[in-house]
Amino acid sequence: MTDNSNGANSEPAAPGMAEASPRERLIEAFLGLLAERRFEDIDLKTVGERAGVPLAQFRREFGSTFDIVAAFSRDLDRKVLAATAADDDAEVTPRERLFDVMMQRFEILAPHRRAVQNLRASGLRYPPLGMALGRLSLRSMQWMLAGAGIEASGLSGMARAQGLAMLFARVSETWLDDDDPDLSRTMATLDRELARAWDWSTRIGEFCRMIPRPRCRRERAARSWADTSRPGDETAPAAAI
């Protein structure tokens, strides 16, 4: 990749990062660069220089800039799961738990909003990158479902994750422009989208219970959110991370 930084020079890692591991410094350096420019304009040498990590050591940690995106996505998943693990109130519904899990994800992502925006733009511009980001998002959404206590394994779990990834992408459009410290607009959009998904699933399930066996295929699809997309969603990368 070429380095088209629009005049922004690579800077060494901040003093506070000196105590971080090479892996952590590389991720932070990459996210800093991604906040300044698009994914395709970030090269390995510049990331290493900003992180203060020699290329040989960089190669030991990551194979490409996309590997850094994947590592950040895994770290984000772990942080969300750790932050929401204590919420095991039996009176809380699955929908409420999922709302809390997804809002926690948005809150942790908040410092990297500009980086997410640029990554999404690159995913839209380059379909192969968009597809790769979509796969990352799908994997993350399986973990978010599990964190909310919702079945995330098997074909039905995969379908639920796909539906949640599309929902997350839609809500992310609001989140990217939400300037409120409490993310009130994001919360309202997420609540509305989850309510719509649950309502649609319930209605289809009730209709299918009126139909003699074999079970209606749409019931399975509804319960797994396999069809929560809207026109145009299939071409947009999921919210990347």
SS (HEC) of 119-176:
HHHHHHHCHHHHHHHHHHHHHHHHHHHHHCCCCCCHHHHHHHHHHHHHHHHHHHHHHC
- Classify residue 31: in a domain, yes or no: yes
pTM beyond 0.85: no
Q: Can you give the pLDDT at residue 157?
A: 84
Statement to judge: residues 192 and 228 lie in one domain = yes
Domain presence at residue 241: no
Q: Are residues 7 and 94 in the same domain?
A: no
The residue whose two tokens read 């009176």 is 91
**Residue where one domain finishes, among candidates 42, 63, 84:** 63
DSSP 3-state of 215: coil
* C-beta of residue 225 within 8 angstroms of C-beta of residue 164: yes
End position of a domain, from candidates 63, 80, 108: 63
Residue 119 lies in a domain: yes
Q: Which pLDDT score, from 0 to 100, does residue 200 have? A: 62
Kindly state the tokens that stand for 70.
């994947």
pLDDT at 2: 42
What is the pLDDT at residue 42? 98
Same domain for 34 and 112, yes or no, is no
User: Where would I find the H helices in the chain?
Assistant: 22-34, 44-51, 55-61, 65-84, 94-109, 113-125, 127-147, 154-175, 184-208, 217-223
Q: Let me know whether 142 and 35 are in one domain.
A: no
Burial state string for 27-65 with b = 16 or more CB within 10 A and e = fewer than 16 = bbbbbbbbbebbbbbbbbebbbbbbbbeeeebeebbeeb
Q: Which residues contact 153 (CB under 8 A, 6 or more apart)?
A: none
Q: Are residues 53 and 35 in the same domain?
A: yes
Low-confidence ranges of the chain (pLDDT < 50): 1-9, 204, 206-208, 214-236, 238
What lies within 8 Å, CB to CB, of 27 at 6+ separation is 68, 71, 72, 75
Residues 165, 93, single domain; the answer is: yes
Give me the domain span that covers residue 15: 1-63
111 and 201 belong to one structural domain = yes
Alpha helices, H only, 209-241: 217-223
Alpha carbon of residue 200 to chain centroid: 23
R_g of the chain computed on alpha carbons: 20
Same domain, 59 and 123: no
Does 175 lie in the same domain as 78? yes
The domain total for the chain is 2
* Pair 219, 205: CB distance under 8 Å: yes
Same domain as 192, residue 106:
yes
- pLDDT at 154 (0 to 100): 86
